[in-house]
């Protein structure tokens, strides 16, 4: 049977990879002359999606910062288990 144990260094590396993700807020789409309803809806969806995606990335980074501490606690428990 092989050992399964928590790795603080793996968790730290994973967090660093998550933190490297960036999302540019991009340009907000503006359709000043279009009167086509679907074009206006597309514009609104695009503009909201950019904002939502940026918030998702920020939230994911915030939550990922907890994982090294969790891995540390699990590693401590792992060290007390005899394989």
pLDDT single digits (tens) 20-76: 888 776 677 777 777 788 888 888 888 888 888 888 989 999 999 998 898 888 888
What contacts 14, CB < 8 A, 6 or more positions away? 64, 67
- Alpha-carbon span 39 to 10, nearest angstrom: 46
Does the global pTM surpass 0.95? no
* Confidence class for position 1, pLDDT limits 50, 70, 90: very low
What contacts 12, CB < 8 A, 6 or more positions away? 68, 71
C-alpha 4 chain-centroid distance: 26
- Alpha-carbon span 5 to 36, nearest angstrom: 58
């Amino acid at each position: 049977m092989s050992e399964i144990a928590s790795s603080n260094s793996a968790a730290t590396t994973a967090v660093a990879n998550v933190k490297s993700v960036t999302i540019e807020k991009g340009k907000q789409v503006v359709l000043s002359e279009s009167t086509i309803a679907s074009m206006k809806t597309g514009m609104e969806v695009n503009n909201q999606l950019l904002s939502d995606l940026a918030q998702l990335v920020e939230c994911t980074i915030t939550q990922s910062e907890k994982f090294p501490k969790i891995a540390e606690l699990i590693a401590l428990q792992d060290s007390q288990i005899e394989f």
